[in-house]
Structure 1
């Protein structure tokens, strides 16, 4: 538990409804069926995909980060790259270090499975997302915005 009372941990089966709720907030254009298909794919591949969640003191999920392992990412030099596939913290819980803690958990996982780099992307107009990445040490490499961070 951090100083604000949030716990960062891997996703469990009991988190699926809350994870779906948070995914719908991040990717509101996708249908419930599309989310459920993607969620099933993530769960079925724990060797290459992980989800970390942020839980508040009332055991409610307030954020998540989906991470994957890719063989290629824009402007990266290795062939096994940790990748932030999706990252969301509810607006009322931002600026408490939750996003940073979620990213750190994903980076530690990626490093533990042999990755030397971490990468991500975001929409060009998502200035809040770009600044969040930069605040964690990611550097912009090109537009469509791709970000990279060395894990060494």
Structure 2
């Protein structure tokens, strides 16, 4: 297995993988987002590949604004992570997180943060398995005016 950083050669593959994590999105929008990430100094993505097949990705950003539970800036933020269900429990996500950590450290980060839905037990368990500590639970509200 290899892990590639986002490039013009794999941005379309990243867009396809993103749709598995966020199916409410559309390919064209995610392809454009990939191009934006490709040209951003504060964002990146890494893609896991095995025998020519893309199996997962991690999408990252550097956040300079307040991030719940952190005390430093910038904070490496895991915007999303996905591994094909048939390849989970093979260490792919862990390797993606390790690549992310290395990328963040090179950019001056000493903390990494992430979030998930309060009901997403699979994601919560994953975060804890790769060393994240839970810092808050939150229910947000909105109201039409």
- TM-score (ref. length: structure 2): 0.89
Distance in 2 between residues matched to 1:33 and 1:70, nearest whole Å:
25
Residue 133 of structure 1 pairs with residue 127 of structure 2? yes
Q: 2:3 aligns with which of 8, 16, 19?
A: 8
Contact 1:53-1:65 within 8 A present in 2 as well: yes
Give 1 or 2 for the bigger CA radius of gyration: 2
Unaligned runs of 5+ in 2: 140-145
- Deviation for aligned residue 1:13: 1.7
**Paired position in structure 1 for 2:95:** 101
**Paired position in structure 1 for 2:32:** 37
- Deviation for aligned residue 1:44: 1.6
Q: How many equivalent pairs are there?
A: 138
**Paired position in structure 1 for 2:143:** none
1:52-131 → structure 2 map (5 Å cutoff): 52-56=46-50, 58-71=51-64, 72-131=66-125
Contact 1:122-1:144 within 8 A present in 2 as well: no
Q: 1:19 aligns with which of 14, 35, 39?
A: 14
Distance in 2 between residues matched to 1:9 and 1:37, nearest whole Å:
19
Helix, strand or coil at the partner of 2:14:
helix
- TM-score (ref. length: structure 1): 0.85
Listed one character per residue, the Cα deviations across residues 25-69 of structure 1 (whole Å, up to 9, x for unaligned) are 111011223212322221120x2111111101x211100001110
Unaligned runs of 5+ in 1: 1-5, 146-152
Contact 1:51-1:65 within 8 A present in 2 as well: yes
